[in-house]
Structure 1
């Protein structure tokens, strides 16, 4: 792991002709120390190795592996949002070997979680991808080949499949329950102090797009951005933000009131 001293010591090489150096302030931190060498990103905004590393690490910590510029466009209050490639980030953040390993491993894990759904087979412990996300009855080709007979297990309780299939709710094993669904049904209520005259709502919601369980931090408006699918929705009425804002606003109660506790977790239909 890179130490704080190592990160502070990161500097650009003034002789590097592949970088465009600028003397204006850092567009991420707004630092304007005249003795600090800054470089220009592909979007035109200025950074230092430290500010770029810190910003991109914060995105990874939030579950985001796509790096976008947070600076404001000149003369506006609109964010740049230009996408930076990892290769550009690696170069201009002057990532150390340890930082590169952390970034790349985290990015790979986040991408796999977004585009694939893997679990370990209880028979052979190899990673298995579920083809039909609505079916808990999963066939392991490795175990089936080794034992010369069909081997099926439950995606939910990770035990050998019992009972008829396919099924989307549970298998026949005792105690096979959807813990996420139980959490949705039994979580306490919460309030959003900055939203006017809002009734209490469940403290945990499943993203209406991908099904990821999320909790509001109780600050700011009633809308929340899903860290997995990057879709923003209203934590109160569960509509996507554009639909909610047609009849309400960020800090006012929803026209349809508080959505009841969810009794099913949406399946992510990736395009």
Structure 2
């Protein structure tokens, strides 16, 4: 595997437009040891400067790669980034994982097609089959993938439970179903409660250690809710000692779908570990 510190363009690669110009993405003047090449938007990079720029975009929560040079808002395809940044298999894995997480955080109805890594918006929350028009155009046939296992679709559709790929299951639901219990203090004393809950507003999985307050604040949608009864913190009935009087809600069997709203409550909660 090529060391990321020594990534260099191959002078004999005719598919890369090599140029005798300055690296426009070497913002820290590191002087990367590689020939320079021109991106599709016209700006000049080296493999390392492009890699670092794209990593910075991912750290900022982006799921797409935009040039960002003054006056240029061109979007590079993931395929172009892989090629021009000479991404290693490990780097590609890290990029794809972060892209998917960032996309989910920005829009829960968007995921990346496993065939081309193009972001695709889900049409119906009751159908796991999703058609990628980019892959369909490239292959000349309808290409669909499973929203749940993110593999090319197998079997009849539409379906809301699973496709026919082996081990296709909703990992979040499996976690909710199989997570161990923790002991938390409610009005009836110390009671067993599932250690993982899906936020009632956005569906993010949140774990509780059993230590501290039952009221938690979701880091994704910012909604505060009671880990025991799953009610909004404003609706949860508590006693003088801030202990929930409603009891433990059953294990969740579905994941809430988020509408994208961010909530800011005036309730102060004790952070859970």
TM-score between both structures, scaled by the size of structure 2: 0.55
- Following superposition, the deviation at residue 252 of structure 1 comes to 1.8
- Following superposition, the deviation at residue 102 of structure 1 comes to 5.9
- The match for 1:265 among 245, 248, 255 is 255
1:270–1:103 distance in 2 versus 1, CA, 3 Å: closer
Distance 1:169 1:249 in 2: 44
Contact kept, 8 Å, 1:223 with 1:250, in 2: the verdict is no
Distance 1:143 1:172 in 2: 20
> Which residue number corresponds to residue 59 of structure 2?
105
1:136–1:104 distance in 2 versus 1, CA, 3 Å: closer
- Following superposition, the deviation at residue 233 of structure 1 comes to 0.6
Give secondary structure in 2 for the equivalent of 1:260.
coil
Distance 2:105 2:191 in 1: 33
> Which residue number corresponds to residue 88 of structure 1?
none
> Which residue number corresponds to residue 203 of structure 1?
195
Give secondary structure in 1 for the equivalent of 2:216.
strand
- Following superposition, the deviation at residue 220 of structure 1 comes to 2.8
> Which residue number corresponds to residue 220 of structure 2?
228
1:221–1:164 distance in 2 versus 1, CA, 3 Å: same
- Following superposition, the deviation at residue 214 of structure 1 comes to 0.3
- Following superposition, the deviation at residue 157 of structure 1 comes to 1.3
- Following superposition, the deviation at residue 121 of structure 1 comes to 1.8
Give yes or no for the alignment of 1:136 onto 2:90: no
**What is the number of residues matched between the two proteins?**
170
> Which residue number corresponds to residue 151 of structure 1?
143
Give secondary structure in 1 for the equivalent of 2:124.
coil
In the alignment, structure 2 segments of 5+ residues that lack a partner are 1-51, 64-100, 262-273
Contact kept, 8 Å, 1:136 with 1:168, in 2: the verdict is yes
> Which residue number corresponds to residue 25 of structure 2?
none
> Which residue number corresponds to residue 184 of structure 1?
176
> Which residue number corresponds to residue 251 of structure 1?
242
- Following superposition, the deviation at residue 173 of structure 1 comes to 2.0
Contact kept, 8 Å, 1:122 with 1:153, in 2: the verdict is yes
Give secondary structure in 2 for the equivalent of 1:241.
coil
Distance 1:250 1:268 in 2: 32
Contact kept, 8 Å, 2:236 with 2:244, in 1: the verdict is no
* 1:132-188 deviations in Å (ceiling 9; x for gaps): 344211110111111222111101112221222222221122211111111111110
* 1:217-246 deviations in Å (ceiling 9; x for gaps): 43331111001111011000111111113x
> Which residue number corresponds to residue 34 of structure 1?
none
TM-score between both structures, scaled by the size of structure 1: 0.55
> Which residue number corresponds to residue 115 of structure 1?
106
Contact kept, 8 Å, 1:196 with 1:253, in 2: the verdict is no
Give secondary structure in 2 for the equivalent of 1:238.
coil
Distance 1:149 1:114 in 2: 31
Distance 1:224 1:250 in 2: 16
